[in-house]
Structure 1
Amino acid sequence: MPGKHLPRAADEPCDKCKLKMSAILVRAKPLCQDCFARYVHTKAIKRLESFRVNFAASQDHRRKILLPLSYGVSSTTLLHILDLHLKTQRSKTNRAGFAISVLSIDEASQSLAHAERLEKVREHYPDHEYTSLPLHHVFRLLPDDASLGALVPTSSDPAKANSEDQLASIVASLTSATARADVLSTLRTRLVVEYAKQNSCESIVWGDSTTRLAEKTLAETAKGRGFSLPWQVSDGTSPLGTNFHYPLRDVLKKELVSYVDLAEPILSSLVYEPFSGATQASMSSKKTTIDDLMKQYFESVEENFPSIVSNVVRTTGKLETPPGASSDSCCSLCGMPVPGGHFGVHGWGGDQHHGVDGVPAGTSTTLCYGCTRSIPQPSTTGATT
């Protein structure tokens, strides 16, 4: 599991309850095990005030929220916290403020290991609805989305190609590790959103921690998608057609790692992290992605300077959506509004004129600058980062 534990506290009383001996230092404050667990719970639940029981409809028409589960420490911990919260609501009022639908995306397409992990989670938290979908299913959920289908580099009719072939064609056409990671991440988001809309989910609750949101802030900016940050890291309505919430936005990744092992050891058996230890960038520049570099950077920064990580997220959270954004045309791939219609490389790539950076004058594209750098188009020659 990536990340390091928080430092153990010296033999001194808990800073919160003053009754028990502290077990861990959290942002320079010694906390006992119970107070540390309560600290993490409170940070998450306070972000979901609109889902309190007194705001809920009848039990037959409870609001449904979608939780994308990657089996990492963040999304697994969020599921655990929300499950505890619903049990507490029921014990106090015999009602629940919302229902949870869990979506797991299988990128290996029906892999046995993926099915086993999902079944294990279902056994621990049986009160919720679970669904597993392969990533290529995004093309089935968007059958009439000609703009996304047109991005598939295939000689055959995209409408006649099956979804698995469409995904394979896109991945095979990508020229760098950063492009592949970027496009696959974008398609995962599109799949989650479309599933949420088609299954009447009011909101999507993402497991992104403070550390993850800071990584995303710098990574999206470096990839040329900084204009989309007000929608990508803040709670509220997304241009994709549903609400986004980030309940763990005030909790660092290393705090969640300590929570899993110290406060809730049962979670250790449910968390799946393919790599242990701190993230290491590949020795080959061809295999290194912008996301890997940002993850490595913030994992190291949060160890000794957690306030820097928090400040990045807090500052980004102050960004406002541009006026009239709801009427702007959207990128065919990421679905984000493109201010002023500045599509393609010519829109934001230095010299803001047609006919530069390999884009012939009069050429039209429906990809934002960031997506243009990932998806190879006949009209572009700019190399992907």
Structure 2
Amino acid sequence: MKAVVYINSDEVCQKCKNEQAILKARNELHCRECFLRLVRGKQRKQMSDERYKVNYKRNKNEKVLLAYSGGISSLVLLDIIANLLAEQSEAHKGLKGFDLVVINLNEYQYKSLSAKLDSILPQLWKRYSIPMNFKIISINDYLDENTLYAISLDNEFKSFAKQIKTKTTIIDLLNKCPNKSSAEDLLSIILHKLLLKAANKENCNTIIYAHSMTRIANEILALTVKGRGSMIHKSISDRTENIDGKPITIIYPLRDVLHDEIIEYSKLSHLQEYIVDSTILKSKISKNLTIKDLVANYFTNLNETGYASTASTVMKIGQKLTSPQSNTETTTVCKICGVEIFQDPQTWLRSITVNDPAPITTEEEQEYYKMYKSSSAHDISQNGSNIDLCYGCITTLNGTNEFIWPINPSIKISYENSHQNVLDEFVLTDTEE
């Protein structure tokens, strides 16, 4: 059976015992309000810490950053958080458990989104009666032209980098990736680091992502396929990360909610008109899809055939993983993604890869070999200094020749203030009624 099934009967909701049931979820019949309460309850369970509750003795509230893409999951999480804050304010004479900062990373151009947020947010903001601080960040803030390097890999999987000076944009760099999965992989690194920087700038101690249980299961399988298995333990669990010496708590409040349940929540809450999607048509040919797209299709098929619980199983297995152990006393850090390198990826790759060419048997092959040796591509080590890359980044960059990317960029967050005046008309402050 699917995760959520609409029913047409006179049966009563098994929760409230009052209203007529309209759907079946988690083997129970629910009316509209009880289903919405079910999903909202999952978020509240994940954010049950005292710092997110109203405290009359507290002089200053916790600040929470919500990563908002405009997609269905982040929209539903925004609605749930807004309802929670409204309930707190009503029950505690205007007091709230925390202050909300909504941050959007502008992917409109790169993903050809169906709408710009400034055309949607004013109407969306009218739904809520609580103050929210909304800001948009350009993904180009990750670009530091003083840290741009041409990165190369040789046949032995050694990586080299040579500093260069050039005018470019993040979108241009992503478009030069060897495939869509590589671009998607690098973009995810950019988004997470920008959000950490934004949280630090806004004095937020918590970042909340809208990943559903299905999305987290997708991440586990996708990270495994991309060679980033060492990142699973911290990429899908509630955790604390440090940015510029400041600890930031990262939470996934919808981790116990299936993607199908998020879809039904948006329908029952009349949120569909505010959803922003990519207008880029996905190929029906598997080899043209990204790794995440392929895994997403896999979970969709499982849900259609009645195996939606597989996502829960995958997530539970992923949560049991712990930090890898290093074979040496010290570990290095990947220059692109920043992850710790516990084992030398070059040694592993050389052990599973055939590096020696086939014997030269003809004069034509001999000529080609001479041309190859005389070319600049033969000795990549002359094009820069050796750098440390993790297995995942080596896999991501494999197939490129001098891929340009910022190494350890100095990130300076700037806001696209052109939209703020529009939003200010609809944002209530604590002193307004």
TM-score range, shorter chain: 0.7 to 0.9
Provide the C-alpha distance between the structure 2 equivalents of 1:301 and 1:370, rounded to a whole number of angstroms. 27
With over 3 angstroms needed to count, the CA separation of the structure-2 counterparts of 1:366 and 1:239, relative to structure 1, is: farther
Counting only pairs closer than 5 Å after superposition, residues 189-200 of structure 1 correspond to structure 2 as 189-200=192-203
Instruction: Encode CA deviations 1:313-365: one digit per residue, 9 max, x unaligned.
Output: 1221122224689x74332332222224x3x5x15436289x8999999x843
With over 3 angstroms needed to count, the CA separation of the structure-2 counterparts of 1:46 and 1:156, relative to structure 1, is: same
Provide the C-alpha distance between the structure 2 equivalents of 1:186 and 1:288, rounded to a whole number of angstroms. 19
Provide the C-alpha distance between the structure 1 equivalents of 2:283 and 2:3, rounded to a whole number of angstroms. 17
Q: Is residue 11 of structure 1 aligned with residue 17 of structure 2?
A: no
> In the alignment, which residue of structure 2 is the partner of 1:133?
137
With over 3 angstroms needed to count, the CA separation of the structure-2 counterparts of 1:192 and 1:359, relative to structure 1, is: farther
Provide the C-alpha distance between the structure 2 equivalents of 1:87 and 1:313, rounded to a whole number of angstroms. 31
Q: Which of 245, 252, 257 does residue 251 from structure 2 map onto?
A: 245
> In the alignment, which residue of structure 1 is the partner of 2:183?
180
Counting only pairs closer than 5 Å after superposition, residues 64-79 of structure 1 correspond to structure 2 as 64-79=63-78
Provide the C-alpha distance between the structure 1 equivalents of 2:71 and 2:162, rounded to a whole number of angstroms. 38
Provide the C-alpha distance between the structure 1 equivalents of 2:298 and 2:239, rounded to a whole number of angstroms. 28
Residue 67 of structure 1: SS of its match in structure 2? strand
> In the alignment, which residue of structure 2 is the partner of 1:271?
275
Counting only pairs closer than 5 Å after superposition, residues 310-325 of structure 1 correspond to structure 2 as 310-322=312-324
Q: Percent identity?
A: 25
Count of paired positions: 360
Instruction: Encode CA deviations 1:256-308: one digit per residue, 9 max, x unaligned.
Output: 1111112x11x1221223469xx9653262x2111110011112213411211
**105-114 vs 84-93, which moves further:** 105-114
Higher strand share: 2
Give the partner amino acid of 1:84.
N
Larger Rg: 2
**182-191 vs 165-174, which moves further:** 165-174
Provide the C-alpha distance between the structure 1 equivalents of 2:38 and 2:45, rounded to a whole number of angstroms. 11
With over 3 angstroms needed to count, the CA separation of the structure-2 counterparts of 1:193 and 1:120, relative to structure 1, is: farther
Q: Which of 262, 277, 297 does residue 256 from structure 1 map onto?
A: 262
| TM-score relative to the length of structure 1 | 0.81
Counting only pairs closer than 5 Å after superposition, residues 45-124 of structure 1 correspond to structure 2 as 45-50=44-49, 51-53=51-53, 58-59=58-59, 61-94=60-93, 95-108=95-108, 113-124=116-127
Higher RCO (CA < 8 A, seq sep 6+): 2
Residue 349 of structure 1: SS of its match in structure 2? helix
1:82 deviates by 0.6
> In the alignment, which residue of structure 1 is the partner of 2:296?
295
Give 5+ residue unaligned stretches, structure 1: 381-385
> In the alignment, which residue of structure 2 is the partner of 1:370?
392
Instruction: Encode CA deviations 1:13-59: one digit per residue, 9 max, x unaligned.
Output: 21112222211100221111111011000011110012332568735
Provide the C-alpha distance between the structure 1 equivalents of 2:262 and 2:255, rounded to a whole number of angstroms. 11
> Any conservation in 2 of the 1:151–1:170 contact (CA below 8 Å)?
no
| TM-score relative to the length of structure 2 | 0.73
Instruction: Encode CA deviations 1:230-258: one digit per residue, 9 max, x unaligned.
Output: 11100011366522100000000100111
Residue 116 of structure 2: SS of its match in structure 1? helix
Instruction: Encode CA deviations 1:146-185: one digit per residue, 9 max, x unaligned.
Output: 4xx43679x9965x655xx141442243111111121122
Provide the C-alpha distance between the structure 1 equivalents of 2:83 and 2:185, rounded to a whole number of angstroms. 34
Provide the C-alpha distance between the structure 2 equivalents of 1:237 and 1:151, rounded to a whole number of angstroms. 32
> Any conservation in 2 of the 1:298–1:309 contact (CA below 8 Å)?
yes
Residue 29 of structure 2: SS of its match in structure 1? strand
Give the partner amino acid of 2:389.
L
Give 5+ residue unaligned stretches, structure 2: 153-160, 358-377, 404-433
Provide the C-alpha distance between the structure 2 equivalents of 1:192 and 1:253, rounded to a whole number of angstroms. 23
With over 3 angstroms needed to count, the CA separation of the structure-2 counterparts of 1:255 and 1:242, relative to structure 1, is: same
Provide the C-alpha distance between the structure 2 equivalents of 1:34 and 1:375, rounded to a whole number of angstroms. 49
Provide the C-alpha distance between the structure 2 equivalents of 1:21 and 1:151, rounded to a whole number of angstroms. 63
Counting only pairs closer than 5 Å after superposition, residues 345-364 of structure 1 correspond to structure 2 as 346=346, 348-349=348-349, 351=351, 364=386
Provide the C-alpha distance between the structure 1 equivalents of 2:171 and 2:19, rounded to a whole number of angstroms. 56
Give the partner amino acid of 2:72.
V
> Any conservation in 2 of the 1:231–1:239 contact (CA below 8 Å)?
no
Provide the C-alpha distance between the structure 1 equivalents of 2:221 and 2:56, rounded to a whole number of angstroms. 37
Provide the C-alpha distance between the structure 2 equivalents of 1:270 and 1:119, rounded to a whole number of angstroms. 10
> Any conservation in 2 of the 1:239–1:337 contact (CA below 8 Å)?
no
1:121 deviates by 3.5
1:4 deviates by 9.1
Provide the C-alpha distance between the structure 1 equivalents of 2:107 and 2:199, rounded to a whole number of angstroms. 18
Provide the C-alpha distance between the structure 2 equivalents of 1:350 and 1:19, rounded to a whole number of angstroms. 66
**75-84 vs 192-201, which moves further:** 192-201
